[in-house]
Amino acid sequence: MTASESIALWIQPRSRRNEVVGLKDDAVVIRLTAPPVEGAANEALRKFVAERLGVAASRVALVPGQSSRRRWIAEEGFSVDEVRCALLRVSGRQ
């Protein structure tokens, strides 16, 4: 997956637990316990997505230049649809 083939995510930091809660517009909504300071939420996001896909966190890349709740990620070896389905399937919200 290239940066142009990235998946949109809507991040809600400082939540009670790490979880996928569904869709908002075209973005997968993910709640993270990490605060949005000093890259903590970004690193938590990479680890969370990697865990759900069964890959190393180093294979999950955040598309640069983002500092809002809306993020884009790219994961080598998976299509946008495969990543979206894997995230939503784990949450039970398809």
Structural fold of domain 3-91 = Conserved Hypothetical Protein Mth637; Chain: A; (3.30.1200)
What φ, ψ does residue 19 adopt, rounded to 5°?
-165, 155
- Is there a contact between 20 and 88 (Cβ–Cβ < 8 Å)? yes
**Which pLDDT score, from 0 to 100, does residue 94 have?**
46
Strands ordered across the beta sheet of 60-62 = 19-24, 27-31, 7-12, 70-75, 60-62
Q: Could you report the per-residue pLDDT of 14-67, keeping only the tens digit for each?
A: 999 999 999 998 899 999 999 989 889 999 999 999 999 999 999 998 887 666
The mean of the pLDDT values for the chain is 85
Q: Indicate the pTM of the whole model.
A: 0.83
Q: Could you report the per-residue pLDDT of 3-22, keeping only the tens digit for each?
A: 457 888 999 999 999 999 99
**Confidence category of residue 2, pLDDT binned at 50, 70, 90:** very low
